[in-house]
Amino acid sequence: MGITTTALSVISANMIGSALPAYIAVGTSGTTFTSGDTALAVETDRNQINTSSLTTPEEVTLVANWTPLEISGTVLKEYGVMTLGSSMLNREVLAGSLVFTWEQELQIQQTFKFFI
């Protein structure tokens, strides 16, 4: 079966419509990703996606932000995009870790690209 460019554009456009990835979650586990993952290994917080845009007709970018109060003390090792129903769309495990202090904010931008 072949997927057309138009179909890819429709799929990515719907990710900012009613298909709704709603949150980006962060966690502290460096456990290796598998395609069967359904949640972060150790989720510590999640924030609503506050910006979603079509970067190109086949590309959607989602953005969530954390204030210093929300993220201070976090040892970030993983993050993922979650739907309204808490289904995980992706999981990214960092090569190292990021430790946040009271002086730092966090912004995660996740771009999904659909291509043939």
User: Which pLDDT tens digits describe the chain residue by residue (116 residues)?
Assistant: 445 566 566 667 666 654 568 899 999 999 999 888 888 999 999 999 998 888 777 888 999 999 999 999 999 999 999 888 777 888 999 999 999 999 999 999 999 887 76
Model pLDDT, residue 18: 45
What's the CA gap between 40 and 43, in Å, rounded? Answer: 5
Q: Work out whether the CA dihedral 83, 97, 105, 70 comes out positive or negative.
A: positive
Which residue, 76, 72, 75, 79, is CA-closest to 47? 79
Q: What is the pLDDT of residue 52?
A: 85
How high is the pLDDT of residue 16? 61
pLDDT of residue 15: 63
Q: What pLDDT score was predicted for residue 112?
A: 84
Q: Which two tokens stand for residue 44?
A: 């510590």
